[in-house]
Amino acid sequence: MKINTWFGVLGIGRTGEVLESELFSKDIRELARRSIALQENMQDIPPAGFDLKAAAIECRFVESSAEYYSLLHEVTLEAAKLQVSGALTPDQRIIQAVEALDDINETTNSLSERLFEWYGGYFPESGLNGEALALFIAKYGSRENIGSEDPLYSKARNSMGAKLEAADEILLKSFSESVCSLYERKRQIEAYIQDSMGSIAPNLNLIAGPMLGARLISIAGSLEKLANFPSSTIQVIGASRALFKHLRARAPSPKHGIIYSHPLINTAPWWVRGKIARALAAKLSLAARIDFYSGEKDASLVEKLETKVQQIRASNPKPPQKKQDSGVKPKKKRRK
């Protein structure tokens, strides 16, 4: 019987004794590569309970048990390193980008609010906030520096705001510059996601748009996992709280998770949103599968989705009638 081991190919007898052996050289990298290949093909594996270490010593691959373990340690470590470095697929980069974008959004929002409060004491009439305010402060600093060509000139002249001291002005200006650069990074990441979604998941990109598509991949964990999800799961991704409430208690099931941000759903009247969400999720799941397994762009998906949505809208033109209350409260179902 022929068996594959990490240190060589062995021919063994019925009781596990080594009859012949073709040993590999003790090159760590080479052994690690072979080990990974064996892990994938799973051919001629040793029988259950086969003592690899005893066999390695018996066929003189190593002299001692200590040598066996120290070599095995280096080989498994090297193999794991090779596998980890190969595991960083393009969809993982997108996931990092999406999560970085969420972090940046959160940070810029709270920093912008801080800036608004802070500068509000010096120029409350500006009417600016967010990036516009940050740009304004970075440009002028104190409202006294504002030029007469600026539309805010007269407001700045007659402002009830306090006078901005030089030390505070320096601080506020550099703070605003940081905020501005965060807005800049945000646009840069968005552009990056848009670019890479087109090449990594073209169909998903077409149906969901880059941001929603990237978010779906991010929550699923990878494009592969997203492709393996049933469409009913895709429909409620991002609504896990509502979903588990529904599963545990008698709460209604969620109609949509983050796919709510898709224009087909959030512009639809409320009574067809659930139906459209279902149709959209079905096509998203198809798109993710095509993207993961073939990668070819299929424009017919979008058309089919649009026809389906029109059908749904056409057959449900009016909101459903509310059920008449018969005066008697329906008996509560017992909790399981």
Partner 1 sequence: MTEVKNLSEGIFEVVKDKKQLATKNLDPGKLVYGEKLIPVEGVEYRTWDPRRSKLGAMVLKKFNIPLKEDSKVLYLGAASGTTVSHVSDIVSEGAVYAVEFAPRSMRDLIGLASRRKNVHPILADAGKPDSYAHIVEPVDLIFQDVAQPNQAQIAARNAASYLKRDGYLLLSIKARSIDTVANPKEVFKEEIKKLEQAFESKFEILNAKDLMPYHEDHMGILAKPI
- Contact set with partner 1 (CB under 8 A): 4-6, 35, 38-40, 42, 45-46, 48-53, 69-70, 72-73, 76-77, 79-81, 83-84, 87-88, 244, 247-248
Q: Which is nearer to partner 1, 40 or 296 (CB)?
A: 40
Task: List Cβ<8 Å contacts ≥24 apart for 228-237.
Answer: 229/285, 229/288, 230/285, 231/278, 231/281, 231/282, 231/284, 231/285, 231/286, 232/281, 234/259, 234/281, 234/284, 234/285, 234/288, 235/259, 235/277, 235/278, 235/280, 235/281
Q: Which residue, 116, 30, 142, is CA-closest to 78?
A: 30
CA-CA distance, 301 to 305, in Å (whole number)? 6
Shortest distance, CB of residue 88 to partner 1, whole angstroms? 8
Q: Which is nearer to partner 1, 243 or 286 (CB)?
A: 243
Shortest distance, CB of residue 91 to partner 1, whole angstroms? 13
Q: Which residues are CB-contacts of 243 (< 8 A; sequence separation ≥ 6)? A: 236, 253, 254
Provide φ and ψ at 204, rounded to 5°: -60, -40
- Burial label, 235 (beta-carbon count in 10 A; 0-12, 13-18, 19+): buried
Shortest distance, CB of residue 34 to partner 1, whole angstroms? 9
Q: Which is nearer to partner 1, 80 or 170 (CB)?
A: 80
Shortest distance, CB of residue 7 to partner 1, whole angstroms? 9
Q: Which is nearer to partner 1, 45 or 162 (CB)?
A: 45
Q: Which is nearer to partner 1, 95 or 309 (CB)?
A: 95
Q: What is the largest CA-CA distance in the chain?
A: 99
Shortest distance, CB of residue 313 to partner 1, whole angstroms? 35
Place of tokens 């009638």: 321
Q: Which is nearer to partner 1, 240 or 310 (CB)?
A: 240
Shortest distance, CB of residue 278 to partner 1, whole angstroms? 22
Q: Which is nearer to partner 1, 42 or 166 (CB)?
A: 42
Point out which residues pair with 23 in neighbouring strands: 8
Provide φ and ψ at 152, rounded to 5°: -90, 5
Shortest distance, CB of residue 207 to partner 1, whole angstroms? 29
